[in-house]
Amino acid sequence: MRFSEVIGLQEVKDRLVSAVKEDRVSHAQLFSGHKGSHGLALALAYASFLMCENRTHDDSCGVCPACVKNDKLVHPDLHFSFPAVTTPEVKEKPRSMNFIEKWRGAVLDNPYLGLDDWYDHLGVGNKQGFMSVEEANDIMRKMSLKTFESPFKILIMWMPEKMRVDAANKLLKTLEEPPPGSVFVLVAEDGNALLSTIRSRTQLVRIPVPDPGLLAEYLIQSYKIDSEKAKRIVRIVDGQVAPAISMARIGSEEMGTPMEHEFIHWMRLCYMPFYAKDGTYAWNDLNDWIDETNKKGKEHIKRFLAFCSDASRECMLLSVGAGNLVRFDDSVIPGFGKFSRFIHSGNVEAIMELLGKASYGVERNANPRILLLDLSFKLNVLLNPRSS
Ligand SMILES: [Zn+2]
């Protein structure tokens, strides 16, 4: 990957390039972004620039042997560390080396991937990845090796927020006194979530939200979508590159992510009366939805509830006529504008509190089926004030 292929971030690129040219490369850097940010793509371009045998004044050449290997993520001096999970094949002590082939596949397919994309790629829906002491030992071993071909050996650590405390403690000394030629690039979505002991040993490189115009232009060029669609995507994602790319790639006319449609669908189910006129229960559709959602696993439910909280706030803003502040409207999710009448300043706080509590319940291993059913009943009351 070359700097020219990374969306925006010109100032950051310039700073990195100057540091390399002036021979003051920091041995441990923290690329700190935001959810869905594109720090990984920048880290890959930076690694290529550091290792390139024939740099131009501001980019790697893209054709020398080092660049070719880096483009395939197989340069022997380029290492990766990322959250790993247990799977049927890796039953215990999962670490990056167990998943390196899958990692290469995922990153080559989409260097802008987000954490959700990675878990989807691994097919581990309801599990949270982490970096363990064994991972820290692997890192120390790799970084103590002599370089093979490049003056640098580079470790790109993606999502260091997922590092366990014991693993982090193990790495402190290596980060402080790294073996010669080492460059650690930590790529975080939320640098503040990192242990302060790690943060204080790195040089901070902030990854700003990309300019909306540049992001739209990138989507138009790379995915051949029209400018209206690109603009709508950019509005929805609120600066997150990973979901913008996912949406542009789907290439469907249907706008919005599945989660946005799921939100409208669920809210409709919650709004409808739970009893039919003949006195029987009329909530089979809700029951089906709960079953389907439960199958997607705990992590999905947590993400979905967090999304619902955001979307509820947007509904409330629409209901008070603050349409210029919202990301979703009818052009993005058909029916959203109409639905927003039901979530307003009178109930939004209670709804968000319920969603927050439910998410906490899922985290604490409450039964998701019971929890979603209970939540749906409570939402039914809040959405139909006269029925309470
Ligand atoms: Zn090159």
Q: Where are the domains of the chain?
A: 3-208, 211-254, 256-387
The predicted-structure confidence for 334-368, as pLDDT tens digits, reads as follows 667 777 778 888 888 899 999 988 988 887 888 99
Residue 257's pLDDT is what?
64
Residue 339's pLDDT is what?
73
- pLDDT score of 387 more than 60: no
Mean pLDDT for the chain overall: 88
- Listed range (53-67, 84-98, 277-291) with the worst mean pLDDT: 277-291
- pLDDT score of 370 more than 60: yes
Instruction: Provide the pLDDT confidence category of residue 280 given band limits of 50, 70 and 90.
Output: low
Residue 388's pLDDT is what?
42
Residue 334's pLDDT is what?
67
In degrees and rounded to multiples of 5, residue 224 shows phi and psi of 50, 45
Residue from 352, 361, 359 nearest 379 by CA: 352
Q: How far is the CA of 157 from the centre of ligand 1 (A)?
A: 22
pLDDT mean over 366-379: 92
Residue 279's pLDDT is what?
63
Per-chain residues with Cβ under 5 A from ion ligand 1? 52, 60-61, 64, 67
The percent of residues in the chain predicted with pLDDT above 70, rounded, is: 92
Q: How far is the CA of 116 from the centre of ligand 1 (A)?
A: 32
Q: How far is the CA of 68 from the centre of ligand 1 (A)?
A: 7
Evaluate whether 3-208 and 256-387 have a shared fold.
Answer: no
Q: How far is the CA of 56 from the centre of ligand 1 (A)?
A: 9
Q: How far is the CA of 67 from the centre of ligand 1 (A)?
A: 4
pTM of model > 0.75: no
Q: How far is the CA of 65 from the centre of ligand 1 (A)?
A: 7
- Listed range (57-66, 67-76, 251-260, 376-385) with the worst mean pLDDT: 251-260
Query: Which run of H or of E encompasses 232?
Result: helix 227-237
Instruction: Provide the pLDDT confidence category of residue 250 given band limits of 50, 70 and 90.
Output: low
pLDDT mean over 286-290: 90
Instruction: Provide the pLDDT confidence category of residue 254 given band limits of 50, 70 and 90.
Output: very low
Task: Give the whole-angstrom CA distance, residue 118 versus residue 106.
Answer: 7
Q: How far is the CA of 9 from the centre of ligand 1 (A)?
A: 21
- pLDDT score of 253 more than 50: no
Q: How far is the CA of 73 from the centre of ligand 1 (A)?
A: 14
Instruction: Provide the pLDDT confidence category of residue 160 given band limits of 50, 70 and 90.
Output: very high
Residue 76's pLDDT is what?
95
pLDDT mean over 301-312: 85
Residue 23's pLDDT is what?
94
Q: How far is the CA of 104 from the centre of ligand 1 (A)?
A: 20
Q: How far is the CA of 188 from the centre of ligand 1 (A)?
A: 26
Q: How far is the CA of 27 from the centre of ligand 1 (A)?
A: 21
Residue 116's pLDDT is what?
80
The predicted-structure confidence for 180-228, as pLDDT tens digits, reads as follows 899 999 999 988 889 999 999 999 999 999 999 999 999 999 888 888 8
For the segment(s) 3-208, the CATH number from 3.30.930.10, 3.40.50.300, 2.40.50.100, 3.40.50.620 is 3.40.50.300
Task: Give the whole-angstrom CA distance, residue 339 versus residue 331.
Answer: 13
- CATH class of the region 256-387: mainly alpha
